[in-house]
Chains A and B, each alone.
Chain A
Amino acid sequence: MKPLTDGNQQTGLANKKNRFWSRAFQQRYLYMMSLPFVLWIFIFSYVPVWGWLTAFQNYKPKDSIFNQKWVGLDNFIELFQDERFYIVLRNTLAMSTMGLVVSFTIPVIFALLLNEMRGQFFKRSVQTISYLPHFVSWVVVAGLVSKMLSTDGGAVNQLLIYLNIIDSPIQFMAKGEWFWSIVTLSDLWKEMGWNSIIFLAAMSGIDPELYEASTVDGAGRFRKMWHITLPGIRTTFMVLFILSIGHLVSIGFEKQFLLGNPLVSDYSEVLDLYALKYGIQMSRYSYGTAIGIFNSVVSILLVFIANGIYKRVTKESII
């Protein structure tokens, strides 16, 4: 395809328009090829946004969306006046931030160490074993965790007693203030290997000549890690990091739902669970939708803020 290099800028608007269409015509096959995906996104991501209308209504499923009572911002006002909402927001942000920090440090360190491994067989085995837990369902993991931490013959308590660190078993699962850590740690156990795969892949893409050159310059292993490996995966790291910031508010609820119990509900309830309980379960679809909108707006904001900061610091933009 020959680029249009029309130096004449005499007829601004009309010309520009023409240029767009002729160019589009030239690239018609490309456009056609991308059409199915655009359609896909529309149908599944944009068309459902219609449903947002219900947040401003008192939605009853009996009637169509156009036949509902409009209530303005009532649902949002109620949401922001509910104390519980702030508690669940705090829990959500706390757990997702802790998860974010942990899941972007430990897997990177793990990948770095694995990358330095020489024996291929050993390296592969460790990698495979470490990502296997990813395929275990949260239901099973929750069962394992509560069994391990049980006061009734749980391995952790028995170990601590054996080592004389404590006299009587600790009720780990009944201590609200420990809940966040328990969730974060079990998440780490489950996802560490899996998360490190992509970093390992990025590391294997680094030009070996760089390492050779640095060896010539007399760099040791740690120097190489610091000056070559880490900068080499920076872009991958940042893309993933910024994308997961977008998911900060919507962390799902399986973990909290399965590991939680009424005693620790002040620390375990997250936004999605709150939306489920006070929204869908009580047939308050409008209220649930209002929470959903809040979620989406905050997520978009967070992504742009994160990207903005990154852009300012590095002069590169991800989005």
Chain B
Amino acid sequence: MKRKMQMALSLMLALVFVFVTACGNSNNEGGSNTGSTNGATNATNEGEAAEPITIRVASGDINANWDDMQSETGKFIQEKTGITMKQEFPVGGTDAEMFALMVASDEYPDLVMPKGSAGKLVDAGALIDLRPLIEEFGPNIKKVYGEYFNRLRWSEDDDAIYTLPSGGVGQTYFEAGGGFQLQHQVLEAAGYPEIKTVQDYEAAIKAYIEKNPKTADGQPTIGMSLNGGEWQILISVTNPAFYATGAPDDGEFYVNQDTHEAIMHYQRPEEREYFRWLNHMNDIGLLDKESFVQKYDQYKAKVASGRVLGLIDQDWDYGDAQNALKAAGNFKATYARFPVTLNDTFQDHSFQGTGYIAGYGIGITKDAKDPERLIKFLDYLASDEGQVLVNWGIEGKHYNVVDGKRVIPEDIQAQKSNDNNTFKKTTGIGNYLLSARYGDGVKDPSGNYYTTTFPEQIQTAYSEEDKKTLAKYNATTYKDLWPADDAFPERKYGAAWTLPFETGSQANVIFQKTQDIMKKRIPEAILAKPADFDKIYDAFLKDLDDAGVDKLNAEFTKMVKDRVALWSK
């Protein structure tokens, strides 16, 4: 018996070796093979540049309205460049997961938009340095970034450019998408009161819900709901704590503007008071009890039913639901936005300047078959022609030039503002903002804005309800309600949420732990009895300490200071 076992075992081992060596060999062969074929395709491509190819693009942001190049703009780009993009989005998980699995399998699509995972890909050697390619084939790209080109540099030690940030260069904000939202009908019923502090906000909701405990179709109205069940807890619950207490959003950290010392922002006493207010809202029954349990689709369904009076969210997050309200003609239940703060000593710092944030962008991977072609493609999108195309669409179809000015025809504009999801899908406008581009408020050589977001255009996009409400507050856009852009000094480090942790480092692990703690403790504190709030919040801070938040703060402070040094060169 024993002998047999030994036999079997040695046989197994022998087999294993056979396999391992076999695998090793084939791997090597595979490697050299792809190398040579790559060279071959490159050579042939130079002859016939517009040969149609299909490329894979992995995007970290799910775009439900992605048109698969079948939209009007998509087809135009396809014809012009010969490139067909197949986009891939995270399925049933986060974008971090998608890219981590990519790294684990060491197989990449041609283009990636890795959001916060760029560092991971760079560490894995997955992204190629775009600098030489841009120098040679990307004049438009270079032109767009202009004086901020040095901000594309990866780090102090590595001057490679791995991603092209997709944020608009020279962006002026004409519209505010965040703040605290209230339905137009709530404002109307209250006679358009001043909405500056959380007390004003609370009073308006309270007054309305007392008179209208049920909607017209008999469902109970909900005071306010937060999108706190998934990752948007950051958007809907914790980031507003910055804004309401007079700080800009710097990810999970509060950065002292003078010393550049960073601390985890929950450690600020002001923010404790903000969460105490949310706790109070829950106590008096105005906060949706399911705020921290609901999934994103449940939240959207609730908002789209028109019975949620107030939100604290960003328009891109609740936009789908609001579009559904508009499509149903329920404009009274759509939302107006206000810069609400904890009390009148604070000012909303949402628009404190950052300079150009060289943040999330698009990169070319080492598996891309023809990087040169790709950079030319991106360069086309960054050209004047390309930028007008992706922002405005096709002349004669989506816009007309009247007296040298680009004008969007009324029927197109109506569809764009009232049924944006279909609009995006059929026209493709907004789906191809992949490459370097100018931001809102920058004009092209013809004297028109590159983007469709400029004051006049924003106003034409407003619904009658929006206009009515804004008129009552003597404003033309919601942005007018916020402090002006130059009210605060520019942040020298851009925005701290763009600073990536070194993957797998101790700080990264601590950060992940603090996030897990926060996601549990913040909801717990808000849903607790008011008497228990301080106890839980203290426990929260202690948990953070135990997880090593001091080390994390020190590390982050160093990262901020390094960024300041890198960018002020």
Contact = CB atoms under 8 A, between A and B. Distances in A.
Interface in B386-406: none
A60 interface: yes
Interface residues of B, dominant DSSP: helix
Contacts, number: 99
Interface residues of B, number: 44
Contact of A266 (B101, B103, B504, B520): B520
Contacts of A139: 92
A284 interface: yes
B293 A84 contact: no
B519 A265 contact: yes
Interface string A267-300: 0000000001110111111010000000000000
Given A16-B3, A61-B124, A62-B124, A262 B290 contact: no
A21 to B, nearest CB: 10
A151 B97 CA distance: 32
A42 B15 contact: yes
A63 to B, nearest CB: 9
A60 B124 contact: yes
A50 B23 CA distance: 13
B171 interface: no
A38 B19 CA distance: 13
B214 to A, nearest CB: 13
A151 B302 CA distance: 13
Q: Is the interface of A mostly helix, strand, loop or mixed?
A: helix
A263 B292 contact: yes
Interface string B258-299: 000000000000000000000000000000011011010010
19 contacts: A38-B15, A42-B15, A42-B16, A42-B19, A47-B20, A62-B123, A139-B92, A152-B290, A171-B289, A174-B293, A174-B527, A262-B520, A262-B523, A263-B520, A263-B527, A265-B519, A277-B512, A283-B503, A284-B509
Interface in A125-160: 139, 146, 150-152
A280 B523 contact: no
Nearest to A265: B520
Given A39-B15, A146-B298, A281-B100, 6 more contacts: A84-B516, A152-B302, A171-B290, A283-B503, A284-B509, A287-B504
Interface in B10-40: 12, 15-16, 19-20, 23
A262 B229 contact: yes
A62 B289 contact: no
B289 A151 contact: yes
Interface of B: 3-4, 7, 12, 15-16, 19-20, 23, 92, 94, 96-97, 100-101, 103-104, 106, 120, 123-125, 228-229, 233, 289-290, 292-293, 295, 298, 302, 503-504, 508-509, 512-513, 516, 519-520, 523-524, 527
Nearest to B521: A262
Interface residues of A, number: 37
Interface string A248-262: 000000000000011
B280 to A, nearest CB: 18
A43 B104 CA distance: 19
